[in-house]
Amino acid sequence: MTQKVIEVVGTSKDSFAKAAQAAVGEAAKTVRGIKWAHLESLDMEVEGAKVVRYRATTKIYFDLEK
């Protein structure tokens, strides 16, 4: 089995989990056979003392078709 890895960034105003789901959902629009997702980094956009957006940089692993 051969896999390819791409990096996708998802964002959410609600949580890291929703940001990660957004990244996987975006990748799934054009990639078939997604097997794994790995959170590479988590970031927050801050305004003043308030978190306004969550960002999840996610590595997406999928099988290459023969």
* Mean pLDDT of the 27-41 span: 95
b/e map of 16-43 (b: 16 or more CB within 10 Å)?
bebbbbbbbeebeeeeeeeeebeeeeee
The domain that contains 19 carries what CATH number? 3.30.1660.10
Confidence of residue 58 (pLDDT cuts 50, 70, 90): very high
Calpha distance 1→47 (Å, rounded): 45
* Host domain of residue 57: 3-63
Question: Residue 44, Cβ neighbours under 10 Å: how many?
Answer: 12
Dist. CA 60–CA 44, nearest whole Å:
21
The pTM (predicted TM-score) of the whole model is: 0.88
| pLDDT > 70 fraction of the chain, expressed in percent and rounded | 100
* pLDDT per residue as tens digits for the range 5-21: 999 999 999 999 999 99
Our count of domains for the chain comes to 1
Quickly state the pLDDT bin for 34 (edges 50, 70, 90).
Answer: very high
